[in-house]
Copies of this chain bind each other. A is one copy, B any other.
Amino acid sequence: MKAIAVRRGEETPSVLEKPRPDPAEGEALVRTLRVGVDGTDHEVIAGSHGGYPEGEDHIVLGHEAVGVVVDPNGTGLSAGDVVVPTVRRRPNGSNDYFARGEPDMAPEGFYHERGIDGAHGFMSEYFTSPAEHLVHCPPELAELGFLVEPASITEKAIEHARASRSAFEWDPESAFVLGNGSLGLLTVAMLQASFDRLYCLGRRDRPDPTIDIIDELGATYVDSRKTPVDEVPDVYEPMDFVYEATGYAKHAFETVEALAPNGVGALLGVPSDWKFEVDGGALHRELVLHNKALVGSVNSNVRHFERGVESVAALPEWFTDALVTGVYDLDEFERAFDDDDTTIKTAVEFGSR
């Protein structure tokens, strides 16, 4: 079967021929439909994040997949089930994080990440997976199921942010998404139902397809070149919830100033080291005197994927049409890895239902 992988020493993905995998006990065999591409894939390709599976000279890419079960192999699944695989897998033997269904909370050494770190991903015509790491999707989501993994990332961040505010009555009205990439836009769409006023940060000029989506979602576009994050309360309003999906570290600190009293900032970006000056006294004081919180969030578990399925199913068609700017067959898969201002979200198509 064909797979899209990056070889050790190379910095572009290529198509490899690999044997079709056989499901082990407890695993199902899945025929891949589509696999999305995101910033993490670009980091894996560049070698700046993740690592190769032990003993392998390549890693199959892809962690945002949707597929169809072709061999349930005695698991509770049925042939024809549309499924989305989760990303983290047991490295060797089990551990408490996996045993309680929370691999997203495991520290390094306690997990591999398929397509990212230590395990092959889903960009191949077939993949196998333990049934417990396959989340059911309604058949109507066969084409858009590759959005469930990114949606699950947001579900987890929202869950942890809300948990941090659960000791008191918190009725948030305003939310500010930092970043107009595909995850940022998806998050704005997902927050629509629960927030009265939405804002989304970017650094682009109109006309721009991401700003068009922000407008269409009824959110307010905030240009970070004109309005720094920490000035947003003065120019717009203080934000009950900030969702940071930029990886730009100054934004993480400015988030404290952007928040309304009792607000929470969910941080999701993964920046490199970067030293800069902050008014640490003012930030510390602001966190304390206004009961603010910052919550870091990485990865997601089955519970978040299940909610992600619901969230993706609820997205309006105009939105997914605008968000997904390209779905490419294997023979032009390179185009899925293009990253320019007209590209928002792409996927590689391996087959159809």
Which residue numbers of A lie inside 8 Å of B, CB to CB? 100, 102, 104-105, 107, 159-160, 162-169, 247, 249-250, 252-253, 261-262, 267-298
Interchain CA distance A107-B164 in the complex, whole Å: 18
Please name all residues of chain B whose beta carbon is closer than 8 Å to the beta carbon of A168 when the two chains form the complex: 102, 105
Please name all residues of chain B whose beta carbon is closer than 8 Å to the beta carbon of A298 when the two chains form the complex: 288-291
Please name all residues of chain B whose beta carbon is closer than 8 Å to the beta carbon of A280 when the two chains form the complex: 249-250, 252-253, 271, 274-276, 278
Q: Is the interface of A mostly helix, strand, loop or mixed?
A: mixed
Please name all residues of chain B whose beta carbon is closer than 8 Å to the beta carbon of A278 when the two chains form the complex: 275-278, 280
A107 touches B252 (CB 8 A): no
Please name all residues of chain B whose beta carbon is closer than 8 Å to the beta carbon of A253 when the two chains form the complex: 280, 284
29 contacts between A and B (CB under 8 A): A105-B169, A160-B164, A160-B167, A160-B293, A163-B164, A163-B165, A164-B295, A249-B285, A252-B280, A267-B284, A270-B288, A271-B284, A271-B285, A272-B285, A273-B279, A274-B279, A275-B279, A276-B278, A277-B278, A278-B280, A287-B294, A287-B296, A288-B296, A290-B298, A291-B297, A291-B298, A292-B296, A293-B293, A293-B294
Given A163-B164, A276-B277; 16 other pairs, CB 8 A cutoff: A100-B169, A159-B167, A163-B166, A164-B295, A247-B284, A249-B281, A252-B284, A267-B288, A270-B289, A271-B280, A272-B285, A274-B281, A275-B277, A275-B281, A287-B294, A292-B296
A269 touches B283 (CB 8 A): no
Interchain CA distance A167-B158 in the complex, whole Å: 10
Please name all residues of chain B whose beta carbon is closer than 8 Å to the beta carbon of A100 when the two chains form the complex: 169
Please name all residues of chain B whose beta carbon is closer than 8 Å to the beta carbon of A160 when the two chains form the complex: 164, 167, 291, 293
Closest to A166 in B: B163
Closest to A286 in B: B296
Closest to A287 in B: B296
A291 touches B105 (CB 8 A): yes
The 10 A-B pairs with the shortest beta carbon distances in the complex, nearest first, are A287-B296, A274-B281, A164-B164, A107-B261, A163-B167, A249-B280, A252-B284, A288-B296, A271-B281, A249-B284
